[in-house]
A and B are shown apart, each in its own frame.
Chain A
Amino acid sequence: MAEAGALAEAGTEAAGPEVKKLSQQVSVAIVGPCRRHVTVTIPRADIDEEFNLAVRELINTVKVPGFRPGRVPRVLVEKKFREEVTSGVRQNLLMKSLEQVAEDNDLDAINEPDFDIESLTIPDEGDFTYEFDVEVRPEFELPEYKGLTLDRPIHATSDEDVAKFKTRYLKQFGELVPEEGEVAPGHIVRVNISATWKDQELVRPTEDRLTVLPTLRFQDGEVAGFDTLMTGAKIGDVREANVTISMEAARVELRGETVVVKFEVLDVRSIRTPEVDQEFVERMGLESPEAFDKFLRDTLQRQNEWEQRQSTRRKLLDKITESATWDLPETLVRRQVDNALRREVLEMQQAGFTDEEISARRNELLQKQITMTRQALKEHFVLDRIADTEKVEVVPEDLEFEIAMMAYRRNESPRKMRARLQKQGLMENLVAQILERKTVDLLLESAQFNDVPAEPEVEAAIESIPLALCGESLGSAQAMND
């Protein structure tokens, strides 16, 4: 529904010869959420004046055989260089006019007006009228953002937590040792996996190495209670499980069907964590086992602090956007979603997914992206407005520091990093990111915290393998993880 906007007429008084204003007529109409339709009419007098100015400038510079510079008759210049003069006049007029529209009408545009300058022609007689649509920032009331009360999860770094963390940490340095006895939870087994459905062989015996965890997940189904199933098995034993094929499986006829999966144990191993002795800690670059314990405690504390910061940030953003029910500029959302989607599709293509597989998941991806983009844009607009109100600014030093940090993390020189960012056009994004972070930090400074115990950490309980029980894969598991 279009609603007629205010008709603004710019004054003709000039502050100086350089900044003479056009006496154009502008009408702004609301044509959708955050969308304005602007119609501008530039009177003939302004066009003629601009044209005269352009010709006068050209006369002084143009070179025509038979004439000294500056002595070429005006009519000749007008005729000979008509195209150049007209396109120059059009560009100048549009630039002046658009600047004036932005100044006089308080249009907080977020993108360039969507019109093609080349397709516009200035008529030989009469006024020049052009129209365009532009997206503007959403108008909304800022929610209360100072002195917010936020829940802050407190992670207690008890000795027990440190011990658990130590076991987990040491596992990465552990070695696999053969187990003589029976399979127990946490063991690593080498098994032959085969699947049958109504006496039809779906998966030929395939060798794989698995960790015995509560759940084993295939690409199209999962075995719940895998640890109980395998516990007590010895080398050579075969264990069976019934698995229901998921509704997203590649083969339609198998969706929802129950297949029999057999696991033949070939080998049982467990991870032996290394002894924390002087030799081990020295290899880690530490002085003593006590220093190693301190290092673990510090690392855990840092991790916890990071998680706490992330969590409070998330809560803060949720809080300031929870009242944001205003409309977003649809084209902007669509463009952002398209970009994200294109990126994701490209990644899937690179990971080896076929076009059919990608289009099958397209809707799901689209939905996910739309929700994420909407939330991100709302956060951006609210934070941007708060930054504006609180006069938060990004100074060059902030940018330098951020680039230096990024360069350090990537082991590159800051100059190279900056050049790459500029080449990829990511500088603006970086500035916006720093601005948002500074604003969030400012809000967190004034926030009050409600300390709540953190939720206990969920231990890894799922083992995933890149195998499809119905025999046909929707892509490799590696690709899905990417």
Chain B
Amino acid sequence: MAVLSRPGIQLEPHQVVIRPLVTEKGTHLSQRHNSYAFEVVTLATKTDIKKAVELLWNVRVVAVRTQTRVGKPKRTKTGYVQTKPWKKALVELHEDDRISFF
């Protein structure tokens, strides 16, 4: 079932969320603010992310904040290359909902 109703590419929930970010900062956010960090596909909008997380984990999403992380230049033996830009989403859940990544 497609999540998106707007024109263009229709993404499935599992295509929107690439992986949860299990880091020290992410764990802190989840414990303190009930916010969870995910790596998401760059095409996804906040609405896509909200719907995908609600569907995948069966929770209520209160807010979504996104950051687009630009790719960094990396030196290789043939010269400089650029790593891919990626999108990070911080999803704040309803205070009664929780996600357990581990």
Contact = CB atoms under 8 A, between A and B. Distances in A.
Say whether A associates with B. Answer: yes
Interface of A: 65-68, 71, 73, 75-76, 79-80
Contacts of A73: 27, 102
B96 interface: no
B102 A68 contact: no
Contact of A80 (B21, B24, B102): B102
A79 B24 CA distance: 16
Interface in B17-31: 21-24, 26-27
Nearest to B21: A66
A66 B102 contact: no
A76 B102 contact: yes
B102 A71 contact: no
**SS class, residues of chain A in contact with chain B:** loop
Interface size class of B (residues with CB under 8 A): under 10
Contacts of A68: 24
Nearest to A78: B102
A36 B22 CA distance: 52
Contacts of B24: 66-68, 71
A73 B23 CA distance: 10
Contacts of B22: 66, 76
A126 to B, nearest CB: 25
Nearest to B27: A73
B20 to A, nearest CB: 11
Contacts of B23: 65-67
Contacts of A66: 21-24, 26
Contacts of B21: 66
B28 to A, nearest CB: 9
B21 to A, nearest CB: 7
Nearest to A65: B23
A212 to B, nearest CB: 93
18 contacts: A65-B23, A66-B21, A66-B22, A66-B23, A66-B24, A66-B26, A67-B23, A67-B24, A67-B27, A68-B24, A71-B24, A73-B27, A73-B102, A75-B102, A76-B22, A76-B102, A79-B102, A80-B102
A68 B102 CA distance: 18
A327 B73 CA distance: 81
A245 B20 CA distance: 91
Contacts of A80: 102
A71 B26 CA distance: 12
Nearest to B26: A66
A72 B21 CA distance: 14
A73 B26 CA distance: 11
Contacts of A67: 23-24, 27
Contacts of B102: 73, 75-76, 79-80
A75 B102 CA distance: 7
Interface in B31-54: none
Given A76-B22, A79-B102, 16 more contacts: A65-B23, A66-B21, A66-B22, A66-B23, A66-B24, A66-B26, A67-B23, A67-B24, A67-B27, A68-B24, A71-B24, A73-B27, A73-B102, A75-B102, A76-B102, A80-B102
Nearest to A71: B24
Nearest to A77: B102
B30 to A, nearest CB: 10
B31 to A, nearest CB: 9
Contacts of A79: 102
Nearest to A66: B23
Contacts of A75: 102
Nearest to A75: B102
